[in-house]
Structure 1
């Protein structure tokens, strides 16, 4: 048995060594390609390097000590993958112009590496070769496989997701399907043109090739970053894939690099051209980074539900005192509560007319947890109808006065009623989250349980929200 164990250890060490060797090789090829694109990769120009981390795959680490706001690296515009740099490869004069997400995912779909080989793309091959080879642990992969009838560990996990998480995942899947349908339609009209470009016959996106498009789309959804390309700052096509940046891991804490303002943002030019110094990234502005320390990229102050659905991971919870900022969606619980009442349809119509139907959450900030204003507003109206036992428009005027800021509350009784109802809602969420925890270790369920318990505790104390 000891001899077999030694063989296993040798095998594991060999796999780790091979993976590190492969990473080093692709990193070197990436830097060589970036140099041909005009990037400076000398010791004074590139202050980061890629290494494997113990728990999060690859990461970016400081090659040398960096003072605050040091220029870590600068990627030339032509090395970025976005709707402008790809436009010449994919004519959009057909019936359906492509969005940035659709165009980038199409390019990755065409040029996905086979197995452990490098991508053969003549334009971005060395960069594409550094992207993740699979997304088996991402929930979108699970739901796509479930739609095709594939049984796997990930597919089985879907049944344990909290309702709010599952609802968000369904919305993500809808977005994915819409993009896939547009790309499929585009390929039907541009297949011959693209095939001549790549000297190959491009198969349409069907069930047999769906996994390739899932891989491509998830690379875009999880790795693209905002990059000003359009006249409007809010244009959804203002995004890009950026070499080197891809290796940075997310952390809600720690040392975060920041993108420097682009020329387009500084001068607010329109139309915007991807010119100038490219995409530049700076070390943290408030602290120095020591040599060998990992440098993170903050994905935003997202709740674990969003991080899990969009990116496939969650922030680790360290206990009730250290609940991370975020929110818990209680849409399913509150909607059922309202519509099960005899006045439910009318309550829904009023909330819809006033813009308060849906998007009801419990959220935490710092060490405090509370219901959102939208949830409080909906519960106040519901309790008003329950207490009056009537359906009349004139009965809701006190509620309208509250949302208009003309009065603080409807009545003391109404305040007591909606807070008691809030406790009931928390009592529904807590056991559901606990059941998910008992069936499957889930940080998302743990988060829902902790926030709901904290909100309930505050409501029982009579705290003001």
Structure 2
């Protein structure tokens, strides 16, 4: 559906209204930059919703904006709103998503939250196009949205999505338990549908997707340990920025805690500063991007709900494919499967078996090579004894390069077999991705063609990576 000029105008007016309210709110919380001095602004983009753009031209590494500490939403700024008799039982993700859940805007209204209302009102109003939403709806019997698309996902993508759903369920259970035990007077803005399983779960999906690393949160040092999972925050202004895989992007300024590795970290830090790309000047009106990190498309799709597109239909520069289901079937189809699986689990090599492709090379991951070597060694020996796999242990320990010439031939042939199986499956799935295969999706979901293309890209990536690795294996490339 192509938006009309009127609809674009109304949407932009609404965005401008909420952007102005957000800046006023930030200034009351300590932001020193006035609207006329701010180097960035939020505008609609043709294909990616809202984006962050330069209001003025600026040199490399210019300060774009600074968000004061009280304008951030994290486990420390929210703690006073959710008091407990002891340490909070909630993680950062759970506390942030709880606050969003309790203060979700209704329809086109602003958030009722007296603390973060102007900020919450700028967040996305729904995540209907996100695959987690489809899976939650399918689990709760809500037949709507993109549920039919689940049947068209590559098995590795669906497996990753199920793991994400498990995390969601654990956090939702913790939040519900907290709500049931906490003093009800704390939650004066509580969702009226808390006891409605469908309504409350649907609202929590929205809150959780806003309140995790998946879409909006970013790393922010709050704990003594840099690796503490509670080192994250929601950051106004920043979350308007779209992702770029390789292009120039703005970067956060390291905090004093990060520079000096100080402990304990100050209660809420000194706020968050972001500078323009270090390698190029930014021109007025140019979109300013953020990078979510180097992730395969499988991860981007499951965690963020989109994929990176390659520039050439017939080639792929970077790609990664998880071979878990095919390799697992190969191993478990043998009488020695229990022994092989036990050894791989004990040694930490069960699962995470991937193929990769880059501009320089293509091949199996070390973990996949290691698993196939053991599988072929045990099958060829036709004996299930620990002393028969010592050559494999020597390879894993770096004492020798290979088990034997015969083993090298065998595991490479197994690799060709699983690549061929993946190629066949991907080709069949791409043929099945037709418009009439998505009956049951709501006609109002204008994101469906875009999401169908994302799924096609996932399958095409699996096909091209498997073909490249198969060819490298057939010609005897070193891995």
- TM-score normalised to the size of structure 2? 0.91
2:261 to 261, 268, 287: 268
Matching residue of 1:134: 126
1:426 to 396, 419, 440: 419
2:107 to 115, 133, 140: 115
- Taking the aligned partners of 2:367 and 2:313, their CA distance within structure 1 comes to 25
1:417 to 410, 416, 424: 410
2:467 to 443, 450, 453: 453
Matching residue of 1:213: 204
Whether contact under 8 Å (1:81, 1:242) holds in the other structure is yes
1:155 to 125, 147, 161: 147
* Equivalent runs, 1:82-121 vs 2, <5 Å: 82-93=74-85, 97-121=89-113
- Gaps spanning 5+ residues in structure 2: where? 434-452
- Cα RMSD, aligned residues only: 1.9
Matching residue of 1:4: none
C-alpha deviation, 1:93, in angstroms:
2.9
Whether contact under 8 Å (2:128, 2:145) holds in the other structure is no
Matched, 1:287 2:301: no
- Taking the aligned partners of 2:136 and 2:354, their CA distance within structure 1 comes to 27
Matched, 1:405 2:419: no
Matched, 1:164 2:178: no
Matching residue of 2:351: 358
Matching residue of 2:305: 312
Matched, 1:46 2:60: no
SS in 2 for 1:301: coil
SS in 1 for 2:211: helix
- Taking the aligned partners of 1:334 and 1:195, their CA distance within structure 2 comes to 50
Matching residue of 1:345: 338
C-alpha deviation, 1:326, in angstroms:
4.2
The range that moved more, 403-412 or 75-84, is 403-412
Please state which structure has a larger fraction of its residues in helix. 1
Superposed CA deviations along residues 40-93 of structure 1, whole A, max 9, x for unmatched, are 233675211111111001111111112111111000000000000000001133
- Taking the aligned partners of 1:449 and 1:380, their CA distance within structure 2 comes to 24
- Taking the aligned partners of 2:229 and 2:81, their CA distance within structure 1 comes to 20
SS in 2 for 1:51: strand
Superposed CA deviations along residues 282-322 of structure 1, whole A, max 9, x for unmatched, are 11111111111111111010000000000100101223776
Whether contact under 8 Å (1:82, 1:100) holds in the other structure is yes
Matching residue of 1:3: none
- Gaps spanning 5+ residues in structure 1: where? 1-7
Matching residue of 2:476: 462
The range that moved more, 286-295 or 90-99, is 90-99
Whether contact under 8 Å (2:76, 2:268) holds in the other structure is no
Matched, 1:248 2:241: yes
- Taking the aligned partners of 1:200 and 1:362, their CA distance within structure 2 comes to 45
- Taking the aligned partners of 2:45 and 2:246, their CA distance within structure 1 comes to 16
Matching residue of 2:231: 238
SS in 1 for 2:310: coil
C-alpha distance 59-87 of structure 1, shift in aligned 2 (>3 A): same
C-alpha deviation, 1:95, in angstroms:
9.2
SS in 2 for 1:120: coil
Matching residue of 1:195: 187
C-alpha distance 383-51 of structure 1, shift in aligned 2 (>3 A): same
C-alpha deviation, 1:436, in angstroms:
2.4
Superposed CA deviations along residues 158-200 of structure 1, whole A, max 9, x for unmatched, are 011111000000000000000000000000011513235x498
- Taking the aligned partners of 2:123 and 2:416, their CA distance within structure 1 comes to 46
Matching residue of 1:373: 366
Matching residue of 2:27: 35
The range that moved more, 240-249 or 447-456, is 447-456
- TM-score normalised to the size of structure 1? 0.94
SS in 1 for 2:111: coil
SS in 1 for 2:65: strand
Whether contact under 8 Å (2:377, 2:407) holds in the other structure is yes
- Taking the aligned partners of 1:274 and 1:94, their CA distance within structure 2 comes to 18
C-alpha distance 200-302 of structure 1, shift in aligned 2 (>3 A): closer
The range that moved more, 411-420 or 318-327, is 318-327
C-alpha distance 62-96 of structure 1, shift in aligned 2 (>3 A): closer
C-alpha deviation, 1:334, in angstroms:
0.6
- Taking the aligned partners of 1:347 and 1:199, their CA distance within structure 2 comes to 52
Superposed CA deviations along residues 193-250 of structure 1, whole A, max 9, x for unmatched, are 3235x49878357333211100000011211000000111101000000000010000
C-alpha distance 165-24 of structure 1, shift in aligned 2 (>3 A): same
C-alpha deviation, 1:438, in angstroms:
2.0
How many residues of Structure 1 are paired with residues of Structure 2 in the alignment?
A: 456
C-alpha distance 133-369 of structure 1, shift in aligned 2 (>3 A): same
- Taking the aligned partners of 2:210 and 2:203, their CA distance within structure 1 comes to 11
C-alpha distance 201-117 of structure 1, shift in aligned 2 (>3 A): closer
